[in-house]
Structure 1
């Protein structure tokens, strides 16, 4: 399984969910733009990073995808902490919204790890056998003796 392609597809699906989480969190009483524009940027980066990584599996595209997941993870962390703080101090936040934010946060961790580039062979597979050096001349030694 190619985890990078899985991560790219998940990024394209998570982008709109991040927007939905922001809209649900702010519905009815929008906070100032500085508190939610970073989430919108994270959603745009996820969609763009996922599209780039699905278009071509290059190092640059996978780095863009990993960066998008990292930015999303940071913004969701702040959103999650602010929601929990608001729930504890002011009005309670609906449990479904906290659950959605937590799922997006954990999904961002999985997506970020899946987007990391790796060319290593899986640990459970055997290493490739090294080819034996060929001897030329039907077994005759090519080295000269020092005595001659």
Structure 2
């Protein structure tokens, strides 16, 4: 059950990430490494979710969640550092973006842990057979 939840969450999260990245950058694309990494994460999440649903494999799923988690860690704390910098003029848009990225970071942590636990449970079940 946990594997299915993690897999579906990965597919939904990865799909939303790809769309939101395009919306966020449309008309003003950042330097390419900053947006390509989001599409790599989205692709790994969707591929991992599909692989988990089709064959119960958790390696790609955990890898996708781990990659996304590391990416959002850096993004969240980078934004948070800018918001908390003394004397920084912080807009409402930047505050909202920091909150959204923080929430997405939290979801990646949840997804990563659930994929690891599901993989551990699956490995234990297979070892007993």
- Name the TM-score class by shorter chain: 0.7 to 0.9
Larger deviation, residues 12-21 vs 34-43: 12-21
- 2:59 aligned with 1:63: yes
* Structure 1: 5+ residue stretches without partners: 122-148
Q: 1:12 offset after TM fit, Å?
A: 0.3
TM-score (norm 2): 0.76
Instruction: Calculate the aligned-residue CA RMSD, in Å.
Output: 2.3
Unpaired runs of at least 5, structure 2: none
What is aligned with 1:118? Answer: 120
Offset, 1:26: 3.3
- Contact 1:7/1:114 (<8 A) preserved: yes
Count of residue pairs brought into register by the alignment: 117
Q: Which residue of 1 aligns with 2:72?
A: 76
In terms of Rg, which structure is larger?
Answer: 1
Q: Does 1:39 align with 2:59?
A: no
- Between stretches 95-104 and 19-28, larger displacement belongs to 19-28
